[in-house]
Every structure is written in structure tokens, then in C-alpha cells.
Structure 1
Amino acid sequence: MDNRFGNKYCICMVSDFFFPNTGGVESHIYQLSQCLIERGHKVIVVTHAYGKRSGIRYMTNNLKVYYLPFMPFYNQCILPTLFTTLPLIRYICIREQVDIVHGHSAFSSLAHEAMFHGRMMGIKTVFTDHSLFGFADASSIITNKVLKISLADVNHAICVSHTSKENTVLRARLNPSKVSVIPNAVDATIFTPDVTKRSAKRIVIVVVSRLVYRKGMDLLAGIIPQICSRHSDVDFIIGGDGPKRLDLEEVREKYQLHDRVEMLGAVEHSNVKNVLNRGDIFINTSLTEAFCIAIVEAACCGLQVVSTKVGGVPEVLPEDLITLAEPTVEALVAALEISISLKRTGRAPKADVVHRKVKSLYTWHNVAYRTEKVYNSIIKDEEGDVADKLLCYNKVGPVAGKLCVLLAVINYIFYLLLEWLVPRQNIDCAVDVVKTEDTQPLTRSRSLKQPLHFR
């Protein structure tokens, strides 16, 4: 393919999860996009509307964000409809002359649909999986089947840990050679230690997480009263919101711990550093994690980290920076006892030492560099015709495969109808903001005389 920027691409990041929502996926997309822009690529983000936030918005470094007029249906995801998103996705891909559609999160309906449409248009697709799933419960079975269908014709997949890669390969029946491991990272210029905010007389345990079952909030509800009864100088700060918040408030009420358990509610990502710096120990009680960016951010702020030994967590930090425990109340309490003892005796690692070590381990520039190598590896791949893509879907299963082929054919016919009703020659190409060698921004527009990746 003759790329317009030489070895630079126009990348469309797609996910239901983005600003103003906060979380690991949202942070990953934003930070990766910023670093790719610095490397000379054009990046746009496509997500759904958040309340009154709809239309086109711009963020730092002219990162363009399309907030599509679809409202969340469940868990911040749009209702899966497949066909209703095609007109807008096609329009954006043509207007921005997208080279790569990069979907994020197995939970995101919008990401799966955008990759499906992108493949029909002959655009390269990449998927990043941020989560781990089981194989037995109904929710996992359905999600795994959707993932298998979605990744049947994907050019490449990225996982954030080796454990996550094994999980994704099994769930989606992927060739392991098509899956790369690129971990998350942390912005060490933001997450810096500030020991002046810590209490000199109290030991503070911090939790910053979505308060949901998957994050182990039931375990946390059992840990708090035990630790508080054993140590009169230990307090808890809990940042985050979710359905399990009521359970934690009931525990605080039952054991009369209002002065020792502070519930902050939802915390803006810009304020997470300030919350972390108030603590000495960070605890992660997740029942499943592919990577867990929260423990990296906590360690970068110099906190001792205690975490459940699940998923890809053991791969994240060196043994001297984290205390791992089985996902039980007894094991986590024992791990916290060790960290509390280290703090009291002054044997805990110094905050600035921990910060420098974590800073050297994870950088977003390295993540962007490795992601760019994935883009380079797929951009030269020969694209098959529509019949080849239908064969890929047919291999999904004896019944599901036939259904996928039917949906793909209908989607392609709809796409051809849109090509006739709204010819791509009538769609104005967006004006790009690029940087010259003297770093001064320039604008340029590009004509679209030939169909983009159309076969």
C-alpha cells in the first residue's frame, strides 16, 4: 500500500471507554495516542457520546475525538446493532483517510463493530485485549464467542501480559504468532512521590478502584474490620464508585469506623496521584486482572503494594516492590501485616528509590514504539477479497459461522449501497495538522480521487 505519510499512518482508536470516563483502558488509549502523535502519526479516537459531550472535540496535541451520537446501553457500552454504526464509521474512515482501525477492550461493542466495518472496507485492523475471562460461566461463554467472531479476520492482536495472551489465544482460537504482548505503562512525570502528604503518626492503606465484584470488593469488606481491630494506628482511604460501595459503607457503619475509613467516591484521574500520596500501602483485591495499571501508578508514587496473585499481576512488578497473596481475606490480611511491619520498623523501600525503578520499567514511549512495530508488520500484508473474509467467518463454527457470513454479506451490501448513495468523492477530507522539522504546526488537505482500500 502506498501510504500518504511514508511510514506514518492515520490510526483510528475505537472504544466505548474514553474520557470523561476514567480507568485503565481510557488512560491507555489517551497515553498511547499522545505518544503516537509525537512519533509523527495522525491519531483520532472514536467513542460514544457521554451525556452532552457529543460531536467532535479536541484534546492535547490536536487529538481529535469523535463522540458518536449513541448512548450507553449497559456498563458504558452501546447497544450492539452492527448495521447502525456503519454509516458513521464509513464516513469517518473516508474523511480521515484511516489506515488502521485499532479497537480496545473485549467489552466494547463499538470497537468490535468498527473493526468489522473496517475489514469490509479493506482497512487494517488491530485489537488490544485488556481483560481476562473464564470459560465456564454464561457471561464468559457469550463474550468469548463474540471475541472469536470479532477476531476471525483481525490482522493482529495485542495483549498487556503473557497471561492475557494465553487467555486470548484460547478464547478466540487465534494463531499465537498473530498476538503480541505489549504491557501498559505509567506517566512517571505525573505519578511522583510526595511524602509530605503522608501522616507521621498513622499508617494509611489506599484503595483506588471501581467498586465492583470483579475488583474484589467483597474481600476488602472482610479485610477492613480485621486490620482496624488489630492496629489502632491504621486507616483506610477508598477512592472509586460502583455497586459495591454500599457494602463497604455498611461495614464502616457496622464497626463504627467512620473516622478510620474515608470514602472519597469517584476520583478524577488528575487527582489520583494526590490520593495515592496520602497513603503508605496500596492494596489491590482484584479477582481477575490482565495487567492492573493501578499498582504501577501506586508503586510509581512510592507506595508499598499488596495485591492478589491473579492473572497477569505477578508479571507487573519485581518481587521486591510487591507482596502477592491468594485472593482470600486471610491471605491478604497476612500480606498487609507484613507491609505494616515493614513500615513501622523503617524497612520499607524509600519512595524515591521505588519511583526511579518503576520509571525505568514502564514508559509510554516504549509502548508506542512497540505498537508502531505491529503497525509496520501488518501494513504490508496483502488484503484478501470479500470471499476470503467470508471464509474466515465461516470457520467460526458450524452454526455461528453461517450466521456471521450472513451478517457480513448484509453488511457489505449495505456498504455498497452507501457507496452509491453517498459517494466517497463527495465527502470532504479532513484538514490534517502535522509538524514540520522546526516543530511548527502546518495544515494540509488531501484529495481522495481513488476509493480508499476499496476492493
Structure 2
Amino acid sequence: MKYSICMVSDFFYPNSGGVEAHVFQLSQCLLAMGHKVIVVTHSYGSRVGIRYMTSGLKVYYCPYKTFYKGCVLPTMLTTLPLLRNIFIREQVDIVHGHSAFSTLAHEAMLHAGSMGIRTVFTDHSLFGFADTSAIVTNNFLQVSLAQVDHCICVSYTGKENTVLRANVTSHRVSVIPNAVDSAAFTPDPSRRSSDRITVVMVSRLVYRKGADLLAGLIPLACRKHDKLHFLIGGDGPKRSMLEEMTEKNQLSDRVTFLGELKHSEVRDVLVQGDIYINCSLTEAFCIAIVEAASCGLQVVSTRVGGVPEVLPPDQIWLTEPTVESLLSGLDAAVAEAGRPSALSAWDRHRRVASMYRWQEVAARTQDVYDIVWRTPRRDQRSQTMRYLSSGPLSGKFMIAVLFLLRLYSAFLEWFQPREDIELAADWHRGFRSANQPLQH
């Protein structure tokens, strides 16, 4: 069965990041498998309207402005007219939302569910349970996922986290890891310096990514190893703190800040390094260490979240999220870099290429779509009970919201009947919607 799939997230190109790359690569593979795929995101500056990307991937840059950290303002109602029009126009069978942080993804799945369209959600993050922001986010996620047909997590740790914090039954959650385009992340040992050992970190410079740990690690590591140099790519609120640390310890000649990088520039930075270091305090998967390993680098990483599931033990040094433990792991990697290794850069690349393939991710995602499509739609009573089980106040609030959405939907159906919405031309040869036979 071939489906018409709508990927929805606040995070997409031209912004760069793990979610953005995941949505794009997955969409490309699904297109190659014969499915119809569109992407819906918010506008980026002057980029508003419809754009086409590689393989004819159609992207709707909706005229919604961001409110906080690249996400649109949660309103529940104002996004319905345009999203309804897109779903009908593109004859969408499945709406696939990405990222727990994405307001647009949650609202799109809510509207799709009320229109009888199947929904799938991919969670790319881990959350705690104690602080105020986590409690609010978890409750919101629990309400949102009450009507989603199936969830996908990128690691088994992520699955446990999602099941606990969103109160989702485990049989509704599948684990499909991220992947890497190994053809784009290949080693180039000639780019490495022979008279020094280069440690690379490419990440957003924020607290969650361990920028404070990095600030404590760099002076100690540089004093201990004369040949050590750091190459830091990325930007964020912690960059000024890292630059101040560099000046204070007179390490300007041993620490280089590259600023924000395009995803297409990451490989050229990685191949200059011998060791990649990840200081994150929480990670569901961490695609950055997979890209680094694909480029032949040794990896040192904090043992957090789903990171221990990502690489074999002989390709990664796992440490605790402390400066002392990271320094110990870095010492081991430096010692390994100074002698002939059992694994060459190309050996590491080939192992990663065999483990993480986007084609396999797409095939397993299609299996999830098949499961969702075969599952009977829930009746109104069971849907109401799911919302009530999500919380005494939030559940009743969502039922009230759904009532308003149904009234609004009825008005839109009268004001702009679906029969009057012109269907989009389908340029994907051989595509057949799950709802409609191919027209010749």
C-alpha cells in the first residue's frame, strides 16, 4: 500500500539540527519507495508558501510566526483552516508529527485526528519528571498523545521515557533509531594534523548539551596534554562563557570557535579531528556521535539517555556527566590516538554504514504506517475516555477544546465545503493513495 504522508514539525530546513535532518532524509526515502510525501512547517523569514526540494519533496511554509525557541504560538483553533485545506488538497492518509517541542506538530495531529486521518508521532527527546517545566511538558504530551494512533522513539531508553511520562501503552510505541547518510560522512585522514591531536565538538552551545562541562574540561585537558587542540562548531547562549574561559586560561591558540555551521559543512569539520567529544546531559539518541564515527573519529561521550545503545563498546568511551569522568575518557582516547589502532578510520566508517541506513529506517516506518492503517478507528466514547484518563482537569479541558474544534470544523465545512477545494496535482508516478485508486 502506498500512502499520502504529511510530515509536520516546527523544525525543518533552512534551520539545521537533528530533527530537521531526520524529517528530510526519511521523506526522501519514503518518496523513493513510491509514497507521496509533503512537509508542513512554519515560515522562515521571507520563505513563505510552497517550495520544492530534492526528489520533488513539496514543503508548505505556512505563514505562522514563531513564538518561543522556533515554535509557533499554541492556539488550537487558528491553525485549523489552513491545515484542513492542506490535508484535503493533498489527500493525506497519515499525518506524522515530529518532536515533543513542536507546537505545530501537536496541533496538526489534533486536527487530523478530528478529521479521521491516521496519526503517528516521533519523539526525539528525553524529559525529566521533577522540575516544573518537565511536569507541564509531560502533562501536555500526555494529553496530545491520547489521540495519536502510534508513537515512534529513537531508542529503547526513549521508549521507556515516553511510556512513563505520557502514559502511553507500550504496544503503541515502536523503536526505530536514527540513521546517517554514510556516503556524505566519509573519512579523510589527509585532513588531520600530524603534529597535534584535535578534539571536535559540533553542537548547540547550551546547558543541556553540556557546555558547562566542556568549559571545565578544556583547561584541565590542555594542561595535561600539550598536543591537544579543540575545534568547536555551533552557537548558542553558552558561547560567550566558553570564549571567556578560553581568554582567561590563555588558550586562544588551542581552542577554535567556528560558529554556527550548515549541516553540509559538518563533515568538513569532523574529518579534521581525531576525537569527537559529546558532553550532553540528556540525549535520546545523539546522531552527532554516529556522524563522527562514520567519519572515522574516536568518540568520547557522557553515558546519558540512549547514548549507550548507539555505538559498539570498542568505538566509544562512555563517561559519567562530570568533568573528572570526561577527562578520564579523553585521556584514554588520546592514548589510543597515539598508537596504531585496531580499528582504522575506514573500519569505523564501514561498521557505522552497515548499522545505520535510512532505507531501513524508512522500511520500518512503513511497517508502522501499515499497522496504523489496519487498526480500526476508535469510536467517540473510547476517544473521550482516553482524554479523561490523561488528567482530571486537562482531560476535561481537551474535551471542551475538541467540542469547539468540531463546531469550527462544521462551520468550515459549510463555508468552504471539501468538494470545492481543488486537489493538488500528483507528480509522483505510480503513486496510489490508500484512500483512492490511481486515476489514469
Common topology (TM > 0.5): yes
Query: 2: distance between equivalents of 1:324 and 1:391?
Result: 44
> Does residue 349 of the first structure (1) align with residue 343 of the second (2)?
yes
- Match for 2:306: what amino acid? G
Report what 2:254 is aligned to: 260
> Does residue 323 of the first structure (1) align with residue 317 of the second (2)?
yes
Flag structure 1 segments of 5+ consecutive residues without an equivalent: 1-6, 437-441, 450-455
Report what 2:122 is aligned to: 128
> Does residue 307 of the first structure (1) align with residue 301 of the second (2)?
yes
Report what 1:14 is aligned to: 8
Report what 1:166 is aligned to: 160
Report what 1:215 is aligned to: 209
- Residues 86 and 254 of structure 1: is their aligned pair in 2 closer, same or farther, counting only changes over 3 Å? same
- Match for 2:27: what amino acid? S
Report what 2:353 is aligned to: 359
CA contact (8 A) 1:291 1:312 kept: yes
CA contact (8 A) 1:429 1:447 kept: no
Task: Return the match for 1:241 from 235, 241, 247.
Answer: 235
Report what 2:429 is aligned to: 435
Give 1:360 deviation, angstroms. 0.3
Report what 1:452 is aligned to: none
- Match for 2:37: what amino acid? V
Equivalent residues in 2 for 1:168-247 (5 A)? Answer: 168-247=162-241
Task: Return the match for 2:38 from 30, 41, 44.
Answer: 44
Please give the per-residue CA displacement for 1:304-363, whole angstroms capped at 9, x wherever unaligned: 000000000000000000000000000000100000011112236210010001100000
CA contact (8 A) 2:300 2:329 kept: yes
Report what 2:132 is aligned to: 138
Give 1:138 deviation, angstroms. 0.6
Query: 2: distance between equivalents of 1:448 and 1:316?
Result: 40
Tell which has more relative contact order, 1 or 2 (C-alpha 8 A, sep 6+): 2
Please give the per-residue CA displacement for 1:138-190, whole angstroms capped at 9, x wherever unaligned: 11001100110010011100000000000000011111001000000000010
Flag structure 2 segments of 5+ consecutive residues without an equivalent: none
Query: 2: distance between equivalents of 1:257 and 1:238?
Result: 13
Report what 2:372 is aligned to: 378
Please give the per-residue CA displacement for 1:19-46, whole angstroms capped at 9, x wherever unaligned: 0111111110000000000000000000
Report the secondary structure of 2:428's partner residue: strand
> Does residue 99 of the first structure (1) align with residue 93 of the second (2)?
yes
Report what 1:77 is aligned to: 71
- Match for 2:119: what amino acid? T
Report the secondary structure of 1:434's partner residue: coil
CA contact (8 A) 1:342 1:348 kept: no
Query: 2: distance between equivalents of 1:52 and 1:262?
Result: 33
Query: 1: distance between equivalents of 2:392 and 2:227?
Result: 62
> Does residue 88 of the first structure (1) align with residue 88 of the second (2)?
no
Query: 1: distance between equivalents of 2:172 and 2:263?
Result: 33
Report the secondary structure of 1:110's partner residue: helix
CA contact (8 A) 1:431 1:445 kept: no
Report what 1:291 is aligned to: 285
Give 1:54 deviation, angstroms. 1.0
Report the secondary structure of 1:435's partner residue: coil
- Match for 1:127: what amino acid? F
Task: Return the match for 2:26 from 24, 32, 50.
Answer: 32
Query: 2: distance between equivalents of 1:295 and 1:372?
Result: 26
Task: Return the match for 1:23 from 5, 8, 17.
Answer: 17
Task: Return the match for 1:278 from 272, 275, 292.
Answer: 272
Query: 1: distance between equivalents of 2:341 and 2:390?
Result: 55
Give 1:448 deviation, angstroms. 8.9
Query: 2: distance between equivalents of 1:431 and 1:446?
Result: 16
Aligned residues: 437
Give 1:364 deviation, angstroms. 0.2
Give 1:397 deviation, angstroms. 1.3
Query: 2: distance between equivalents of 1:318 and 1:276?
Result: 20
- Match for 2:66: what amino acid? P
Superposition CA RMSD, Å: 1.6
CA contact (8 A) 1:126 1:154 kept: yes
Query: 1: distance between equivalents of 2:191 and 2:87?
Result: 47
Query: 2: distance between equivalents of 1:351 and 1:213?
Result: 31
Q: Given the two structures, how large is their TM-score scaled by the length of structure 2?
A: 0.97
Give 1:387 deviation, angstroms. 4.2
Please give the per-residue CA displacement for 1:260-314, whole angstroms capped at 9, x wherever unaligned: 1100000000010000001000000000000000000000000000000000000
Query: 2: distance between equivalents of 1:349 and 1:21?
Result: 35
Query: 2: distance between equivalents of 1:176 and 1:434?
Result: 35
Task: Determine what percentage of the aligned residue pairs are the same residue.
Answer: 59
CA contact (8 A) 2:93 2:117 kept: yes
- Match for 1:203: what amino acid? I
Query: 2: distance between equivalents of 1:122 and 1:86?
Result: 14
CA contact (8 A) 1:185 1:293 kept: yes
Q: Given the two structures, how large is their TM-score scaled by the length of structure 1?
A: 0.94
Report what 2:53 is aligned to: 59
- Match for 2:384: what amino acid? L
Query: 1: distance between equivalents of 2:285 and 2:81?
Result: 35
